[in-house]
Structure 1
């Protein structure tokens, strides 16, 4: 796989701004009926997706500010935030999404060059505090997928934000053991050459137990998968069902689309 150099904080933050502004334009038009409607995220309505993104933005804003101030988080801060959001009305959740994602994006944008390079932020679930680029990239991933969950209901041809895609390719498959279900292959095994466009990458996808990726394409693969990079990202995240697969996507070899999708059930 032709790896992209991990993007720096500047470009990730710029993509965050683009992604938020795009989703915000939709959210400002939603009435109560739209907010109560289904999203592409299983069992979540639109308002719940926005609540998830809003509460996450509030928590991350607090986390970054604590790192800037060299302070420690309250032990129950996250639980209090989630409880408040869960008890809010749908309109309050939509308004809160706009408020807190604007605050978080503005906070990222306010970081100076030294902070973007040297600040380390303790997210609480990584082995060590992470740099700004890593934290922004994780947020970009969350925003990008859930933005698609909202937008794709009205537009089945919706794609992930183009500005986000290059930044997500290196992290999308960082934990295959968690995001894949080899049992859903029903004993089938195959090695596929995956070729993406926009941007162009090529690598080997080994469908077995465990599922794995080899950056070097196999010399004698069992088949091939060709698709836009954003569609590959959606496949990995369980968001490439038949109704949302681009016509340009192609799959050859012994593995059927249904089986391939089942190996990546989503999260």
Structure 2
């Protein structure tokens, strides 16, 4: 698990450095451009990432010091402060806050990365560094895409993040998937990804879950791994779906899959 924590922290660093370079080059008008998140402009995405970095760091520091972690009132105060910032302040604040979080993760020694258990307010039990940092990586990678796609319609998730996130998407799939989107139909989909190559199944019935690849699937989805991840988080509109994505089926369409994963 230490190796996975190392890889995730490395991906957080490379992701931060890449997005920071982009953000430093943005003009004032760029910060108010619509982002890939339908209700936010670019600066609001950076505000979300920056405030999230502050909250994540506060929780990490509390765990390391053995003190009580941030509560709901703390989170609300952080969000209120970021909401009140100007677009330029949000960009500068993101650079500082996310650098602080990534640097703190990097400072953890091997034993701490293996043994530390971090309490997250939305999970019932404390989790290890790999899980906590992995959840942050998912948030960071997808919202980085929200920023990048405002300037490049063909933007993709960072490859270093995509490979790691592919291994953890099953942890949240039953929360983010909407089984009722198919009006009671039960389907099994064979998912075959590239970059990296993986094969597994998606089952939609009373709930949405990942399975082994079904022997007789109702549909076969072939797609880059990064697009499969974007599909599960609602970043799947036709204009941002590469031509290499294919779905072979007599009963299921890509729009059906989009309805199962409306985003959040």
Q: Which moved more, 1:202-211 or 1:233-242?
A: 202-211
| Aligned length, in residue pairs | 262
Question: RMSD of the alignment, in Å?
Answer: 1.6
For 1:36, the equivalent position in structure 2 comes to 32
* Equivalent of residue 89 in structure 2, options 62, 69, 92: 92
Distance in 2, matches of 1:162 and 1:145, equals 12
| Mapping of residues 205-216 of structure 1, within 5 Å | 205-215=202-212
Distance in 1, matches of 2:70 and 2:186, equals 48
1:185 aligns to 2:182 (yes or no): yes
Distance in 2, matches of 1:114 and 1:70, equals 17
TM-score scaled by length of structure 1 = 0.93
For 1:80, the equivalent position in structure 2 comes to 77
For 1:24, the equivalent position in structure 2 comes to 20
* Equivalent of residue 115 in structure 1, options 112, 127, 151: 112
Structure 2: runs of 5+ lacking an equivalent: none
Alpha-carbon contact 2:141-2:157 (below 8 Å) kept: yes
* Equivalent of residue 159 in structure 1, options 156, 160, 173: 156
* TM superposition shift of 1:9: 1.1
| Mapping of residues 51-70 of structure 1, within 5 Å | 51-70=47-66
For 1:130, the equivalent position in structure 2 comes to 127
Distance in 2, matches of 1:164 and 1:74, equals 27
* TM superposition shift of 1:7: 5.6
Alpha-carbon contact 1:6-1:167 (below 8 Å) kept: no
Structure 1: runs of 5+ lacking an equivalent: none
* Equivalent of residue 234 in structure 1, options 230, 233, 237: 230
Which runs of structure 1 show a deviation greater than 4 angstroms over 4 or more consecutive aligned residues?
A: none
* TM superposition shift of 1:51: 0.3
Question: When you count helix as a share of all residues, which structure comes out higher?
Answer: 2
TM-score scaled by length of structure 2 = 0.94
